[in-house]
Structure 1
Amino acid sequence: MRTFAVSALREPPFLARRHDSTDLVAGESTAWAQSFGLIGSGHRLHRLRRADVAGLAGRACPEGPPEGLRLLADLISWLFVMDDACDEDGLGAAPTRLAPVVAALLDVLERHGDFTPAPPGGGPLGAALHDLCRRVRARGQSALLLRFVSRLRDYLLALLWEATNREHGRVPSVAEYVQMRRHTGGVHPSFALTDLALGGLPGDPVRSDPALVALDTLAADLVCWCNDVFSYGKERTAPDGHNLVTAIRREAGQDEDAALRAAADRFNHTLLAYLAVEPQVLATGEPAARTVIDARRNWIRATYDWSMVAARYA
């Protein structure tokens, strides 16, 4: 699938960079996941190492203090473990199985990283999530903490949508999938921690500007569409329809090759739309506009480069 993706996807025209502390953070983040019991020493450890979490984080956040990169890498580790539990380990096979876990994790989020112990019902996932929230809270950026918690809540509720689809063998329409993929991808909480690593910019009033909202949405779509095309070779045998290629194939009645090209075309057209929005963001006059644009460019480029080398979707 990489051969097709490289030939069909337009390479993002952004500078490829990597944080100097990436290799150090790789070991630290794996140790963090082990310390909370998210992974042991067998299959799950091997699976997380194959994901090259720090490689993705280091490309997506190539500057800023190492502790900011470490926080982002730990979040991505948590998201990968949660996704794998749902997609491969059976947790997300039915909403009745997943719902108690989601409820416990929502309880964690509602504490907003306070100094009480993590609720016991959340298990290792809850304890690790509480640690993430506490570390975000400790940075003193209350608006960003609320944004982070809100986006993770969207992610958890979207996992229940996926579980319902799996239980009923349902493939969503393309429009429905496009909307929900923005949440199931876990991209927006990752954007929030990237912004935190760069100083917590911008604030809520600026973030409500239509151009910035459009920039974030298009960047998230690009990350997700890139991921879907690269991962389709692995996911086409999965017993659900949570991939853009699968949704297009079912809705349009296309063969696999045509659906793959349609998904690649969606990425390429969205990249052009993204590039058209960047000048609108700069025109807002917001001093942090260039920082925001660079951060979103890094994420788009990082996903493309990481997908070509990581073993997660091989």
Structure 2
Amino acid sequence: METKDLSSTILWDGTPLNSLIIPQLKLWERPRPYPLARNFHADSISEESYQWARERLQVSSYMDGKLRFNETNEYAAWAYPTAPPDLLRLICDANLWITVYDDVRDDQKYLAHKPTEATALHEMLSSYYSIEPKRVPDECLHNVRLRSIPELIERMRDQGFSNDQLVQFIDSVRMFGGSICSESQQDIEKRDLSLRDYIRERRADIGADFYANLSAMISGSYPGPSLQKHPIIVEMNTTLRDFALLHNDVMSLPKEMLSGSCDCAMRYLWLEKGMSVQDALYEVTDMALVAVDDFDNLCDLVELSDASPSDKRIMHHYAAGLRWHFSALAYWSCKTRRYRMDGIEIKFVTPIAKGPDKYGLRPRVAHLNDTWRSRPPDTGRSSTSGDARPAMTPGNRGGR
């Protein structure tokens, strides 16, 4: 791969890139450890998947080498450790698709094509289950990246995924594609956002829903359309998005700076609070850990919630699947050569947040906590909900 010049790259606060320390996390060493395991079938499946990308996505030799060098399929191996071989192969293919799409989008040479491609993706997915099918745009027929989505959807159907599950998957891909339009417009207009605005936009861009929906389908405990709207499920998804985007911003900073990009949470902390890049890296890492604490809190709230006993079982299974993703994000990102490079120092930090959500990114979690932990034991609770737990405080947060 290409040699990267770190010493001549200067950050927005005047700091040389090679002087930074990148904090990293081991969520499996928390007081309430997150699970970590690799799929047994990953080695035999991975090569087949890379070959699929060469043939079906028509990736260049350079992109093929990049995908392999970065061990892109290892994320799927750690995020879906219980998937059987045929399903893991489908997941690896989908993971390569979203990675290739994201990398091409990030390439400044393709800036002018991004809005057109994203619009075509929207139109194709919007018409896929339409009562009155619309004409598929020519862009979809000629663009191999877009043309591969219907193939992946049909393979999911062959795996036994229901229409509800497929629609949810399509919605998650549509949201990811829609972020391309928004980000392209932002690139063009050079808009300045607040930290909270930035995080709100990145929640769609990070693609976490794409992976979470696959996890739910694999677990066999898929929250149906109505349960997907339950506030605990909604906020669980939000905490995963926030951890993914914040942790990704920290880990990918060297890569993004070398590609000429600097739109990340650390930059907004510098703009709003005057933090140095190094201090902002530690601050954003703590913000990511607060999201993990909030997820732990939500897991505890399941038994205190108004959900039925059967829905609670589904919610617990769903949460168990998401925990694999938290661990996989932390583990893979500190191992992959996509982010890790010679000349950049890394440091593992204690995987416990220093305090609550002081930036108010997830106010609904605090509201749910106050509401359900303060309810009397006999007020609308199922007989299986168990005893009430003590209220959460900054010194008594989930996972501490």
Give the superposition deviation at 1:38.
Answer: 3.7
Deviation sequence 1:156-189 (CA, Å, 0-9, x none): 1111221122223344321111111111111101
Tell me if 1:289 matches 2:310: no
Structure (1 or 2) with the greater helix fraction: 1
- The answer as to whether partners of 1:185 and 1:224 remain within 8 angstroms in 2 is yes
CA distance in 2, matches of 1:117, 1:76: 27
- Selected match of 1:24 from 44, 56, 79: 44
CA distance in 2, matches of 1:8, 1:25: 27
Moved more, 75-84 or 295-304: 75-84
Deviation sequence 1:250-273 (CA, Å, 0-9, x none): 232322112112211211222211
Amino acid aligned to 1:110: S
Q: Which residue of 1 aligns with 2:233?
A: 212
Q: Which residue of 2 aligns with 1:153?
A: 174
CA distance in 2, matches of 1:7, 1:144: 32
Amino acid aligned to 1:305: Y
CA distance in 2, matches of 1:119, 1:22: 36
Tell me if 1:134 matches 2:151: no
Looking at CA atoms only, which structure, 1 or 2, has the larger radius of gyration?
Answer: 2
Q: Which residue of 2 aligns with 1:179?
A: 200
Aligned residues: 310
- The answer as to whether partners of 1:171 and 1:242 remain within 8 angstroms in 2 is no
- Selected match of 1:306 from 298, 322, 332: 332
Give the superposition deviation at 1:35.
Answer: 1.5
* 1:1-314 mapped onto 2 (5 Å cutoff): 4-6=22-24, 13-40=33-60, 42-91=61-110, 93-94=111-112, 97-112=113-128, 120-122=138-140, 123-138=143-158, 139-199=160-220, 201-283=222-304, 284=307, 285=309, 286-314=312-340
Give the superposition deviation at 1:240.
Answer: 3.8
The SS at the match of 1:312 is coil
Evaluate the alpha carbon distance shift between residue 127 and residue 29 of structure 1 in structure 2; reply closer, same or farther with a 3 A threshold.
same
CA RMSD of aligned residues (A): 2.7
With the length of structure 2 as denominator, give the TM-score of the two structures.
Answer: 0.71
CA distance in 1, matches of 2:122, 2:239: 27
Deviation sequence 1:116-147 (CA, Å, 0-9, x none): 99754221111211211222233341111111
Identity of aligned residues (%): 22
Give the superposition deviation at 1:49.
Answer: 1.3
- The answer as to whether partners of 1:170 and 1:240 remain within 8 angstroms in 2 is no
- The answer as to whether partners of 2:25 and 2:330 remain within 8 angstroms in 1 is no
With the length of structure 1 as denominator, give the TM-score of the two structures.
Answer: 0.89
The SS at the match of 1:288 is helix
CA distance in 1, matches of 2:147, 2:166: 17
Give the superposition deviation at 1:282.
Answer: 4.2
Consecutive unaligned residues of structure 1, counting only runs of 5 or more, are none
Deviation sequence 1:82-102 (CA, Å, 0-9, x none): 1111112522x35xx322211
CA distance in 1, matches of 2:200, 2:213: 19
CA distance in 2, matches of 1:238, 1:9: 29
Give the superposition deviation at 1:29.
Answer: 1.4
- The answer as to whether partners of 2:123 and 2:136 remain within 8 angstroms in 1 is no
